[in-house]
Chain A
Amino acid sequence: MSMLVSLIAVFGLVAVSYMMELVGLHTVLGIIIPYTAVLVFLGGFTYRIIDWARSPVPFKIPTTCGQQESLSWIKHNKLESPSTTGQVMARMFLEVFFFRSLFRNTKTDATEGPRLLYTSDKFLWLGGIVFHWTFLVIVLRHFRLFVEPVPGFVHLLESVDGFIQLTLPTFYMTDMVIVLVVTYLFIRRVVIPQVKYISLAADFFPLLLILAIALTGILMRYILKVNIVGVKELVHGLFALSPVIPDNLGSTAYIFYIHLFLVSSLLVYFPFSKLMHMGGVFMSPTRNLPNDSRKHRHINPWNDPNIKPHSYEAYEDDFRKVMKSVGLPLEKDVDGEEEGEK
């Protein structure tokens, strides 16, 4: 059900943009929507981060995955139980760039046991890391279209990515990889029962949307061959804040507009979805705090100073007699047989 909804939604987006292109709403598709999308993305992303940041972190609660810093002769695990800001940054670096926690999953399959089907865990990490890195490379590669002159790192990426020269224009491995890996991540959600059970439309939709973006991109580049000069002109215009709609995109311009519309959709959808994990991962209190809570006091802004314990005095009042009977020292020794006061 949720899968079907997502599929329909993505097809809907494609159809809408195709129709808009047919009726010639090029300014809307090529200028208004992309600008709106970028604004929504930037505004939404910032808003979400600020919104999270507005909620304080009342307690210092890192999940410790290794030996704490304690006695000098006990080896402190600086990465898994960091106690300084530098160590926390190292932990976060591995977390963000190499998905260290997810990688832990691979360990568990090492020991003996009856041989059975497959080990999904390893693939989840691999799928995740390949997907994210590929996505990043593809985004960076697009900088060729964004700015002039083309930044140096783009050339480097292109030459590595286009190492296998299969097609003309140069075939980029990432184009194939992203289709494969997104397909894998999608199939995984459908095939593994416990993952299917927990999956929502919000899980299928972004995968399908990204798949659609990748496919339209591939179509545009290798098969329908939109005129790249025109594309560059349009995108440069957008980035230079002097937008133009070029008329030399060729007969297959529609695929470019669909691609651009889908990317815009992703940008708009991003801040309101789970995709915000991109920003959220940096803010997770179980990961981004040092394990030094006994060394440095953490401040809770809403700590309520009026919460007091049941006082010792009240306690002694309650139990003075029996305390005396076992010889416990008293703050206020009342002589009378009965307790003198309340």
Chain B
Amino acid sequence: MVKTPKPKELTENLLEKPNLLRGDQPKQSWMETPVEFKPGTYCHAAKPKVLEGLGFPNPREWQPGDDDWQLPDGWEETILKGFQERLKKFRSFKLYMDICVRCGACADKCHFFLGSGDPKNMPVLRAELVRSIYRGEFKTAGKILGSIAGGRKMTIGVLKEWFMYFHQCTQCRRCSVFCPYGIDTAEITMMAREMMSLVGANINWIMEPVSNCNRTGNHLGLQPHAFVSSIRSLCEDIEEITGVSIDVPFNKKGAEILFITPSADAFAMPGIYTMMGYLLLFKHIGLDYTMSTYASEGGNFGSFTNNETMKMLNAKMYAEAKRLGVKWILGGECGHMWRVVHQYMDTMNGPADFLELPKSPITGTVFSNAASTKMVHIAEFTADLIKHGKLKLDPSRNDHWHTTWHDSCNTARGMGLLEEPRYVLQNVVNKFHEMPENTIREQTFCCGSGTGLNTDEFMEVRMKGGLPRANAVKYVMEKHDVNLLSCVCAIDRATLSSLVQYWVPGMEVSGLHELVGNALVFEGEKWPRAMDLREDEPYDYEEPEEEPEAEAPAEATEEGGEGDV
């Protein structure tokens, strides 16, 4: 025990293997630190067939882990030309290349940095990956002085770095909230992804849905009959559970309202319960609406690729609204769909002069905030219904849920939809607790899987990126017994489910309108009923013995009978 080797040396020997996360060479500047593609840390490359179908450049069989990316000759030129073109087209891009003072305020605001600890995930450094090329290729000082002036040349190493780190940014805009100049890394990520797609450095999880949406109208590439039968099958479930029979109109000309929601709500768990919620709501108020199989995807993975593709996919919404002759469009719960609808759609595909000023047929409320796009968010629509007392709600039907609210990045920081969903939520549930202040509203943490990164091969990075979100969820679970994380985003519904499985076992994820659907009280409905929309959550009918007067509304008396489960 007297002369053992120094304990530190022991560990150093044991852990000799170099790792990006280990500060092996603290002296090395970031420009000299190459990227390392390990399974779990990158998304698969886009398949050649998909790129070909869309007319994207350089389709080929390859993977990011390959040494040779099979780039076309002169690809550097292509990128640089694309770079200059974008500087001329986007003031945001040009300005954000120039004015960053590297104060570091954004450094610790990124969920990917907080979760991974990789310095290149600091928003400022992520942007510097591109700025260094800007300085090194286009600026006199950078061309002459090179790295002293913070410049470098476009090389394959840089492209690989871009590929890795611009696919570790979910364009959540949290950094932009804290930046004194509002520099938005999302803008830079969009540009970097556009430039990468000029030389065929795309990921499949984005490009395949784009291709599918374009032809069939939805991400999964499901044909019209599959879409219809899936929703019809959901209607059967609804009838079985609630006794309410619903017939969903599809592609119906002359309907008042066109309803568009992400296709995940038609196919995926737990989105389908949200879909059931919408359908119950529409039935409840007798809305004259239609869904479309042609525009059956609210989500827009084009917005994760380039602005042209975003425009092309988005154009279906207005095209279909025009064809069907509806008065206005109602949009379902989706994050990036609403970023596109709110900030891009009218500019790209407007003016929607064939539509009318949106007006709720039930309450008569005019949605003047959507006077030009003519598209209303369903949380706005439902909040208005509730405010006018048009819904018969029994929040106690959600008493098995103790909820908290996740603000989705896009609706929070790209739209400002904060209070509407909260108002709806608090009217359909009795138990609600906010997460800590610095993790919600405009400071909300991303799910870690947005912008087309929600693929399974990327799970490890997604878990890292989602850690700050999960951490706050865990806190309210432990402190307040919260068991349901509710949100208005389809990607959230899909990916937060996985996230909490890892970090916060026992937590469930739901959309807002699933809870609305649970709480809606219908004439002649099946009651007492044993289940909520998920079928596996039994109501506790033993309770009423202890006087149900708590805060149960009028129809609580009906609960008197013993329910058989």
Contacts and interface: CB of A to CB of B under 8 A. Distances in A.
A77 B323 CA distance: 37
Interface stretch (A32-40, A228-236, A259-267, A280-288): A280-288
Contact of B105 (A2, A69, A124, A294): A124
Main SS of chain B's interface residues?
helix
A294 B342 contact: yes
Given A63-B177, A302-B89, A202 B380 contact: no
Contact of A325 (B225, B293, B438): B225
Contacts of B350: 297
Contacts of A80: 416, 442
Contact of B375 (A58, A59, A105, A294): A294
Interface stretch (A149-157, A171-179, A214-222, A269-277): A269-277
Contacts of A85: none
Contact of B180 (A195, A274, A281): A281
Given A64-B416, A297-B372, A309 B313 contact: yes
A300 B347 contact: yes
Interface stretch (B198-206, B395-403, B417-425): B417-425
B557 interface: no
A286 B442 contact: no
Contacts of A104: 177-178, 443
A319 interface: yes
Contacts of A192: 104
Interface in B240-262: 250-253
Contact of B99 (A274, A293, A300, A318): A274
B119 A66 contact: no
A107 B95 contact: no
Contact of B102 (A65, A203, A299): A203
Nearest to B310: A307
B178 A198 contact: no
Interface string A120-153: 0100100010000000000000000000000000
B371 interface: yes
A310 interface: yes
A329 interface: yes
A209 to B, nearest CB: 14
Contacts of A107: 437-438
B369 interface: yes
A294 to B, nearest CB: 4
A167 interface: no
Interface string B429-470: 000000011100111000000000000000000000000000
Contacts of A197: 29-30, 119, 125
Contacts of B387: 71, 73
Main SS of chain A's interface residues?
loop
A278 to B, nearest CB: 9
Interface stretch (B181-189, B281-289, B532-540): B181-189
Nearest to B369: A70
B229 A81 contact: no
A128 B315 CA distance: 45
Contact of B89 (A56, A63, A316): A56
Interface residues of A, number: 94
A328 B346 contact: no
Interface stretch (B58-66, B67-75, B407-415, B507-515): B407-415
Contact of A195 (B92, B98, B104, B371): B104
A251 interface: no
Contacts of A293: 342-343, 346-347, 373
Contacts of A300: 347-348
Contacts of A242: none
Contacts of A316: 294
B104 to A, nearest CB: 4
Given A95-B180, A302-B89, A294 B119 contact: no
Interface in B87-141: 87-96, 98-105, 107-108, 119, 122, 124-125, 128, 141
Given A56-B89, A63-B182, A295 B103 contact: no
A323 B225 contact: yes
A81 B180 contact: no
A137 B330 CA distance: 54
A159 interface: no
Q: Chain A CB within 10 Å — which of B103, B182, B315 has the most?
A: B182
Contacts of A57: 90-92
B346 A298 contact: yes
Interface string A95-106: 100010110110
21 contacts: A60-B347, A64-B414, A65-B413, A66-B441, A66-B442, A68-B416, A71-B384, A192-B104, A193-B26, A198-B30, A198-B122, A199-B102, A200-B149, A203-B101, A280-B181, A283-B91, A284-B96, A286-B176, A294-B342, A309-B316, A329-B253
Given A57-B90, A61-B92, 14 more contacts: A55-B95, A58-B307, A60-B347, A66-B442, A68-B369, A128-B103, A195-B104, A272-B141, A280-B99, A281-B180, A283-B91, A309-B312, A315-B217, A315-B294
Interface of A: 1-2, 5, 48, 51-61, 63-71, 73-75, 77, 80-81, 83, 95, 99, 101-102, 104-105, 107-108, 111, 121, 124, 128, 192-195, 197-203, 272, 274, 276-277, 280-281, 283-287, 291-300, 302-304, 307-312, 315-316, 318-319, 322-323, 325-326, 328-329
10 interchain residue pairs of minimum CB distance: A68-B416, A280-B99, A64-B416, A286-B182, A309-B315, A287-B182, A200-B150, A81-B416, A277-B99, A65-B442
